[in-house]
Amino acid sequence: MQLRRKLSMLVAGALVLAVPIVGWAAHLGLPSDTAHGHPEGPAGPRAAEDIKNTLHNLSTSNIINITAGAPVNIGPGTSQTAEVCVFCHTPHGANLLAPGATPLWNRTVPNGSTVYVIYGSPNFDGTNSGQPQGVSLACLSCHDGTIALDSLINMPGSGGFRPANLTPPGGTTNLIGVAAGSQFVSPGTNTMNNAIRSDNGPNYGAIQGGAAPFPNLTTNLSDDHPISMQIPSNGNCAAGPPAIGCDPQFDQLITNSPPADLSGLRLLTRNPGSINADKRDSLRSYPGVTRTPGAGFYIECASCHNPHTPRPMFLRLPSRYDSAMSLASGGGLTTEAQMGVGTGGLIADDPNAGSLVCLSCHQK
Amino acid sequence: MPLPAVQDRSGGKRIVRHLIVCRIFRILGIIGVLGIVTLGSPVWATHDVRLSEDVSRTKHNLSSNPDIMATGTTEVCIFCHTPHGANLAASTQAPLWNRLLPDDTSYEVYESPNFDAQDFTGIHRPKGVSLACLSCHDGSIAFDALVNLPGSGGFVPTNLGFGRGPGTSTNSINFFGGGIVDGSKTFTEGLRDATEVEKTSESPFSGGLHDLVHGGGGSEGSQPFPNLGLDLRDDHPIGMEIPCLTDAQFLQICQDLTTVKLDGGTDGASVAYISRTSPRQALVWPMEKRDRLRAYPSTDQPGRYYIECASCHNPHTPRVSFLRLPSGVPGLVDKNLSPSDTAGNPAGKMWGQIPNAGSAICLSCHAK
């Protein structure tokens, strides 16, 4: 026992000493050791994006369980096509009703047709927190439960252009057939139903696994994290006095996130040393689309979620993940081992270990 | 019947090992921090430990608090908040709340012949954010009575809304701390038996994780306050409207509660900040709003403001007793204390270390 204790102390000490050195190396742009799964290192067994192996593959090609290799029915009903992308995107004739961030969208978009109950709180400083905009409308075009999963504009193959579905509420194209009693899809309307999903498994975002009740958020978004909200900070809110739209917990985020790229996308991090090299894994904010075009940075569904990733809960990876930062403020809680994703695990397999996705933005 | 804190053998070993490891971490951590500062580092490397909010390093991190030691998840936020499917029973004053909320009729509430607090309901029941606090701190609801468990597929609709009793405890989370978690996974009833180590360790981090910062054994005791019980008669009233019209001692804080101090939000129902000094000056008024004492708006009666648990306490702060900072009182600002956490002073003490020095928190509201 004594020996074991000494050993564990030695290991802990070595880890702690190694952390600032690695952090320093990263700060100087030197290659860093990836033994602890630094986000710039190997991202685990899953690619950042691999749509075919996710619950978002609604096609008949989705018959392989990537974990066990056994055929599974993921639930949205029996699909009439083996195409994967077509349920969201089309190469021609896309929906332009929701401008920006709904790339080549092949679905009816609930823009103006649906009035959502939005989040509010006495503590909430988000501005322009009106109705959902941009990429969030793309997500909600399935996930609010009002539009058919197969309310497509351009059907697979030729001769299947459905202009009626360019405008809400759209309607089913019978591209999926739904059996009575389906857990996910309402027969007849082919919209997501309100049923509670009870199955679960190790690969939650991937094929297999439940996410009740979140596939169908409904049009009441007040029990969900706000979206289409401008990040409420000018980088110096702690200096006060308190002002509308100024919350000091986001000062680090605004100060340390890199500038927007040419498309207007701004990757998010509280720690300039920990931005993910693969931007698809990075938490991000979107330019204002409908309310303040070209100005401000907005949190949308896709700020945290990547609809194409096979990672758990379709999550992007945390950007706060940086041991040096935590050490600097007195603790040291954010190596993967300390977050409990050790023993062969990687942050890519458990992106919100230690609530790191949350803490990537919130200085709480 | 108060139960003594019992430490089983494995728990004892865990604490001892934890203690030793923490001391090592502490020493090497200091070396590490010095290394970072010397060699170049992120902007906040030199930040004071006492950030306004840093919940990972407080006793409210149930995954790290040695007295609770949740296992089955490493997540911190999940014990109170969820990004989707939150409990809306107490309105959004309990932001994205992930726990069963207690029935507000369960409590015996504060009374006094001197008590002037108004309440449009006529019954001074806990409201809003206070119900969120009480969803752990009344000792009736299990720590793991969560609505949305970590990961997917763990939605527990029976923990939505209000309820009495422990709620639906979830098998995926267990607690291995000693002394304060009972068989129903709620706070143990009765007083907490802080050990001698805890009692004698001087630490400015009573709200913070004593072990991680100072290498003590167990987090500091704060009997009997972790478990307030259902009898709130021995506690400062909550869910009480500030009696602006009936008690002259509050005239100062009521002067411009609804005009100057409104903060943010587009929903028209925002937190207001409390100060007796008018006009307020930077020296007597924390600039960081998370440090400010606050009043909560009524969700039913626009323009009415309430004192709730979170008026004085910030559940995310590593400061002493989870306290916000005083808003400053004339005559009290020269006690060798700086009202600003970032400003030093000759005595080496800051409000951030002793928020209630001179009873400044109490006197921030009460003209007494």
CB contacts < 8 A, A to B, total 258
Torsion region of A17: left, alpha or beta (phi above 0 gives left; psi -120 to 50 gives alpha): alpha
Of A24, A325, A354, the CB nearest to B40: A24
Of the candidates A17, A245, A364, which has its C-beta nearest B53's C-beta?
A: A364
Residue B133 lies in a domain: yes
**Residue of chain A whose Cα is closest to the Cα of B16:** A5
Looking at the structure, tell me whether residues B103 and B176 fall in a common domain: yes
Task: Give me the mean pLDDT over the A154-166 stretch.
Answer: 93
B302 shares a domain with B186: no
Residues B323 and B184 in one domain: no
- Verify that B51 and B194 share a domain, yes or no: yes
Integer Cα distance of A254 and B171 in angstroms: 39
**In whole angstroms, how far apart are CA B243 and each of A73, A186, A328?**
61, 53, 44
Q: Do B47 and A328 touch (CB under 8 A)?
A: yes
- Indicate whether B86 pLDDT > 60: yes
| Chain A residues with CB-CB distance to B269 below 8 A | 120, 122
d(CA A196, CA A194): 6
For residue B23, being part of any structural domain is answered with yes
A126-158 residue pLDDT tens: 655 578 988 999 999 999 989 999 999 999 999
Question: CA-nearest residue of chain B to A271?
Answer: B42
Are A232 and A245 contacting, i.e. CB atoms less than 8 angstroms apart? yes
- B357 and B248, same domain (yes or no): yes
pLDDT at A31 over 50: no
Query: Which residues does chain B have within 8 Å of residue A222's beta carbon, measured at their own beta carbons?
Result: 88, 92
Residue B17 to residue A8, Cβ atoms within 8 A: yes
Indicate if B201 and B248 belong to the same structural domain: no
- Is pLDDT at B310 greater than 90 in this prediction? yes
Domain that holds residue B350: 242-368
Contact B77 A358 (CB under 8 A): yes
* Residue B226 is assigned to a structural domain of this protein: no
Which pLDDT tens digit goes with each residue over B23-57? 444 444 333 333 333 333 222 222 344 578 888 87
Average pLDDT over chain A reads 72
Is there a single domain that holds both residue B73 and residue B199? yes
Same-domain pairing of B147 and B25:
yes
In chain B, how many domains are there? 2
Q: Chain A: nearest CA to B190, how far in angstroms?
A: 31
B271 part of contact set with chain A, CB < 8 Å: yes
Please report whether residue B237 resides in a domain: no
* pLDDT at A171 > cutoff 50: yes
- The reply to whether B286 falls in a domain is yes
* Residues B201 and B254 grouped into a single domain: no
Contact A223 B87 (CB under 8 A): yes
Q: A284, A299, A263: which is closest to A127 by C-alpha?
A: A299
Mean pLDDT, residues B190-195: 48
- Write down the pLDDT at residue B161: 94
* Secondary structure, 3-state, B16-82: HHHHHHHHHHHHHHHHHHHHHHHHCCCHHHHCCCCCCCCHHHECCCCCCCCCCCEECCCCCHHHCEC
Hey, is the C-beta of B89 within 8 angstroms of any chain A C-beta?
A: no
**Are B203 and B314 within one domain?**
no
Closest CA to A152 of A207, A78, A92: A92
Residue A128 to residue A230: CA distance in whole angstroms: 6
Which residues of A are less than 8 Å from B64 in CB distance?
A: 333
Each residue of A40-68: pLDDT tens digit? Answer: 333 345 678 888 878 788 886 654 333 33
pLDDT for B218: 42
- Cross-chain residue pair A20–B35, CB shorter than 8 Å: yes
Look at residue B228 and tell me if it is in a domain: no
Residue B367 lies in a domain: yes
Q: Which of A24, A122, A213 sits opposite B269 (nearest CB)?
A: A122
Nearest beta carbon to residue B74 from set A129, A326, A339: A339
Please list every residue in chain A whose beta carbon sits closer than 8 Å to the beta carbon of residue B292. 242
Cβ contact, residue pair A333, B78, below 8 Å: no
Gap from B197 CA to chain A (nearest CA, Å): 21
What are the pLDDT digits (tens) for A251-310?
989 998 998 888 788 999 988 767 777 889 899 999 877 655 556 789 999 999 999 988
DSSP assignment string, B252-274: HHHTTTTTTS----SSS---EE-
For β-strands B101-102 and B162-163, DSSP reports them as parallel
pLDDT, tens digit, 9 for 90 and up, residues A315-344 = 998 886 544 344 333 333 444 555 545 444
Residues B249 and B198 in one domain: no
Closest chain B CA to residue A312: B151
pTM over 0.80: no
Select from B14, B74, B174 the residue whose CB has the most chain A CBs within 10 Å, as the one to mutate to test that interface: B74
Look at residue B18 and tell me if it is in a domain.
yes
B46 to chain A, any CB pair closer than 8 A? The answer is yes
Pair (B246, B203) in one structural domain: no
